[in-house]
Amino acid sequence: MNLADTIRAIPDYPKPGIVFRDITTLLGNARAFRRTVDELVQPWAGGKIDKVAGIEARGFILGGAVAHQLSSGFVPIRKKGKLPHETVSIAYSLEYGVDEMEVHKDAILPGERVILVDDLIATGGTAVAAATLIRSLGAVVEAACFIVDLPDLGGADKLRALDVPVRTLIEFAGH
């Protein structure tokens, strides 16, 4: 099975010239979803990962499955104002403005080994902010994992420049 074939391409979404890579078709295919999780987990199977941090919202789906397979805890990284307890936040740039994400202050402990998970890495703004947020709590970002990389947009390279190893399963040239 070619995992790339299970991802739907939606042209001109959310704006003209963009090809949106929709993973809901992959998630709906039991064999593809299982294989994706198995491949994301593979480098750390049998190792010690304390937490898996998933970026809202598709990172929750993948991150929960990865955490389960690794017998690790799961930590949601959410948009500002969505978490009910004391949080730590970080602002990051979007294409047209600034946003903030948060994590519970006590969700990740100093020295813990954390894997960051999301569905896709494009420009890297969200992933770089999430890795920085995790490190601000004193944890080690062991790696960042994504199903899809859009390498022409440079996000994975930005993470690597911060000494965060990046694991992706599929690359789509362009965007």
Residue 39 in any domain: the answer is no
| Active-site pick, 8, 39, 95, 112 | 95
Q: Please give the pLDDT value at position 97.
A: 78
Summarised one tens digit per residue, pLDDT across range 49-97 is 999 999 999 999 999 999 999 999 999 999 999 999 999 999 998 766 7
The pTM (predicted TM-score) of the whole model is 0.95
144/156 Cα distance (integer angstroms)? 9
Query: Is 58 assigned a catalytic role?
Result: yes
The count of structural domains within the chain is: 1
What is the structure's pLDDT at 94? 74
Q: Of 8, 35, 58, 113, which residue is the catalytic one?
A: 58
**Catalytic annotation on 167?**
no
Residue 33 forms part of a structural domain: no
Q: Which stretches of the chain score pLDDT less than 70?
A: 95-96, 175
Q: What is the CATH number of the domain that holds 150?
A: 3.40.50.2020
